[in-house]
Structure 1
Amino acid sequence: MLAVEKIGEDLRLRIFLQPKASRDQIVGLHDDELKITITAPPIDGKANAHLLKFLSKTFKVPKSAIILEKGELNRHKQILIPAPKMIPDELSTLLKS
């Protein structure tokens, strides 16, 4: 399984999420997933909401367009980002390899 997969115009991310971190960032690969840290706590869906907001800013896609496909109550998530307008440097290198 790939951490980052291009499906036509869309991107599918397999994420290992670390909530309650000191800052929001894409850390890099963690086993076969993309490690992302966010500042929100894992309470009442706050981490998921914060993650979607972070991804929306990072990929320049409306938050409502991003789909959390798997892992709503789990650190391991699968997210579909439809036609991202921007791809962060950390991911463009992964997509090339």
Structure 2
Amino acid sequence: MSKTMATLAVNLRPGAASDRIDGWDVDASGRRVLNIRVRARPVDGEANAGLIRFLARSLDLPKSAVTLMRGGQSRLKMIAVEGLGDDTLAERLERLIAVG
């Protein structure tokens, strides 16, 4: 039996006043990208760790279910979310965006 896993493209903005999801955007290749701000600074992987913690907490998942796949040194990240399918992940994110 295979595990359910969704992927998520994120445009990370570190050093923000608060952790928050700003909503969807589209990158140069036409892919949907979620804009997220985190308080953590982009030093020694702190912003990446802050992103993982924030996403896990926001999605009500254990931190171990959210993994940085690509983009460790870039603002554009590819995140794997274990335990959710793409549709379920999209629904949860839409609710979070709607609540603000």
Is the structural similarity TM-score above 0.5? yes
Structure with higher Rg: it is: 2
Work out the CA distance in 2 between the residues paired with 1:91 and 1:10: 21
**Corresponding residue for 2:19?**
24
Q: Gaps (5+ residues) in structure 2?
A: 27-31
Counterpart AA for 1:46: E
TM value normalised by structure 2: 0.74
Contact in 2 for aligned 1:20/1:40 (Cα 8 Å) = yes
State the shift of 1:67 in Å. 1.6
Secondary structure of 1:44 counterpart = coil
Work out the CA distance in 1 between the residues paired with 2:25 and 2:38: 15
**Corresponding residue for 1:4?**
none
Higher relative contact order (Cα pairs below 8 Å, separated by 6+ residues): 2
Deviating beyond 6 angstroms after TM superposition, the runs of 4 or more aligned structure 1 residues are none
How many pairs align?
A: 85
Range with greater deviation from structure 2 (61-70 or 14-23): 61-70
Contact in 2 for aligned 1:28/1:90 (Cα 8 Å) = no
Q: Gaps (5+ residues) in structure 1?
A: 1-7, 93-97
**Corresponding residue for 1:67?**
67
**Corresponding residue for 2:29?**
none
Report the structure, 1 or 2, having the larger helix content: 2
Q: Give me the CA root mean square deviation.
A: 2.3
**Corresponding residue for 2:7?**
12
